Structure 1
Amino acid sequence: MPQHTLHTGLGLRRGLLPDLLTMEAGAVDFLECAPENWIGVGGAFGQGLARLAERFAIACHGLSLSLGGTAPLDLGFLQRTRQFLDQHQVRMYSEHLSYCSDDGHLYDLMPIPFTDEAVHHVAARIRQAQDILGRRIAVENISYYAAPYQAMAELDFVRAVLDEADCDLLLDVNNVFVNACNHRYDARAFLAGLPRKRVVGMHVAGHYDEAPDLKVDTHGAPVKEDVWALFADACQRFGAQPTVLERDFNYPPLAELLAETARIRDVQRAHGA
């Protein structure tokens, strides 16, 4: 597997697989997939993943660990994930700072209450996950709409979890922009408050403008200019960290996605010294 520096990546989605298999080497530095969508998958999809893993570095971004949930962590799933990460020599594994299960899977990323009790709870689960996986993980700041109980600001909650869990941060720039609009805070002040040493990767994606004061994180459209500007600010503060363009549906021709990943690289070169 390639071992060069990872700067610019693209989300590995099954709907994009035919295009990705024909993509030229060097078009992106790495591909990012959700391990639960690929663990144990055979047939054409499994073969496609194996072929891509020979040509591109693989990063993983989980969907179902439910770090903020109340049910015990799924130890069997964590062991299978560790095997998948080892098999594909994954250099970065991240998950969402959220929960996604109760009595069953909720199929959505739910926000955690911003309280001291929640900090202790989720940090302990992150440490447990890191021990089982045998590696540090990064947690991603999520977008949320109906905010649960907030005894502290989102920024203070994220910082407290990172410190107590001693884990890294996958900074989703689009989520910062969306939340700043929806919950009335300053996106650049949020970036300025994050600890530099914790940020090990970034995401950029498109969103939908429901109203001037309501943005919806969709991953189904091109990245908007305001998010590109915020990404430049993030690169200035945190450097040229591995950054993934996320696109989950409404796939355009691959050339359009690669134009956006090329813009990621351009911003990193201009602002991420």
Structure 2
Amino acid sequence: MNKAIGSVGLGLRREMLSEVLSSPSGQVDFYEVAPENWINLGGKFGNQFSRLTEQHNFVCHGLSLSLGATSPLDIEFLNALKGFFERHQIQCYSEHLSYCSGSGHMYDLMPIPFTEEAVKHTAKRIREVQERLERRIAVENVSYYAAPGQEMSELEFTLAVLQEADCDLLLDVNNIYVNSINHGYDAETFLKAMPTSRIAYGHVAGHYVEEQDLLIDTHGSDVCDPVWELLAKAYDYHGIFPTLLERDFNLPPMDVLLEEVTQIHTIQNAHSNMQVGIA
């Protein structure tokens, strides 16, 4: 992503189209969509989406590329993606560091085994995707709840894939926090180790507290204070990067969503002022 396109973004749902078109917010610098939900959209919604992509910066966050799967990449889907990105001037494409297909397509993101073999396999697929799309992509550090066949840590695996694939990173701050609670590691250590030069943009989101030591990454609630604090730490370690608010269900009114967008701006501005003061 060209980091000059703006600092704060918002995930766009279909039910938000009319409101965003009629009353666009100056607080939102870019929007994110899952291309699978929009690529074949026609009629009223398709026209509204085209109007929006002509007026605003957009990024795409994929759901079904299944980078860690053993089944072949879906070349027809990749070709459709390439056309969609060109048609709508998509600034950046990201996908999950996971898989969601085997003998069929699953509707969950499954963890890739943290092994050297999986590093090489996944990185090879990412490189092929980049070649076919003729663009760099970003992969997201994902939340996970089990680590079958683990031979290395999540941190070691993530860094190895990024290096081997030579791709960018979608830094999901909420996922780091969720995983740190669920798997008992230090969130700041993980965050600090991420490669600054590879960060394309970031995510913050809410999660569900199942138990004190079990958080579920839902994107269905407000961002909690520890995640806001971790975002501030991310800017300390890596500088300010474009950051997007994810909210996939339990959608509040737009003015409530924009309060959290404003919170991202506030944290970014505080960091900018601090840097100016140091200088």
Q: TM-score, normalised by structure 1?
A: 0.96
Counterpart position of 1:261: 261
For the Cα contact (< 8 Å) 1:239–1:268, is it kept in 2? no
Counterpart position of 1:22: 22
- 2:94 counterpart SS class: strand
Counterpart position of 2:190: 190
| Amino acid of the structure 2 residue aligned with 1:67 | L
Counterpart position of 1:103: 103
Distance apart, 1:268 and its partner CA: 1.4
Matched residues in 2 for 1:189 and 1:33: separation? 30
Matched residues in 2 for 1:245 and 1:27: separation? 12
Counterpart position of 1:175: 175
For the Cα contact (< 8 Å) 2:66–2:100, is it kept in 1? yes
Query: What is the count of residue pairs matched by the alignment?
Result: 272
- 2:270 counterpart SS class: helix
| Amino acid of the structure 1 residue aligned with 2:75 | L
Counterpart position of 1:249: 249
Counterpart position of 2:44: 44
Residues 31 and 101 from structure 1, CA distance in 2 versus in 1: closer, same or farther, beyond 3 angstroms?
same
Distance apart, 1:216 and its partner CA: 0.7
For the Cα contact (< 8 Å) 1:240–1:269, is it kept in 2? no
- 1:91 counterpart SS class: strand
- 1:147 counterpart SS class: coil
User: Are 2:142 and 1:142 aligned?
Assistant: yes
What is the aligned-residue RMSD (CA, Å)?
A: 1.5
- 1:92 counterpart SS class: strand
Q: Using the TM superposition, name which of 171-180 and 139-148 deviates more.
A: 139-148
User: Are 2:221 and 1:227 aligned?
Assistant: no
Matched residues in 1 for 2:106 and 2:57: separation? 31
Matched residues in 1 for 2:181 and 2:71: separation? 32
The runs of at least 4 aligned residues of structure 1 exceeding 6 Å deviation read none
Q: Using the TM superposition, name which of 22-31 and 47-56 deviates more.
A: 22-31
| Amino acid of the structure 2 residue aligned with 1:23 | S
Structure 1 stretches lacking a partner, 5+ long:
none
Counterpart position of 2:54: 54
- 2:5 counterpart SS class: coil
Distance apart, 1:4 and its partner CA: 5.4
For the Cα contact (< 8 Å) 2:53–2:89, is it kept in 1? no
Distance apart, 1:12 and its partner CA: 1.1
1:196-240: CA deviation from partner (whole Å, max 9, x where unpaired): 111111000000111111111110001001100001001111222
Mapping 1:71-220, distance limit 5 Å: 71-220=71-220
Q: TM-score, normalised by structure 2?
A: 0.94
1:96-131: CA deviation from partner (whole Å, max 9, x where unpaired): 000001111101100000000000000000000000
Distance apart, 1:5 and its partner CA: 2.5
Distance apart, 1:89 and its partner CA: 1.2
Matched residues in 2 for 1:121 and 1:49: separation? 36
For the Cα contact (< 8 Å) 2:114–2:147, is it kept in 1? no
Distance apart, 1:15 and its partner CA: 2.6
Matched residues in 2 for 1:149 and 1:271: separation? 40
Matched residues in 2 for 1:240 and 1:95: separation? 21
Distance apart, 1:146 and its partner CA: 2.0
For the Cα contact (< 8 Å) 2:5–2:30, is it kept in 1? no
1:36-75: CA deviation from partner (whole Å, max 9, x where unpaired): 1111210111012112112210111110000000111001
Structure 2 stretches lacking a partner, 5+ long:
none
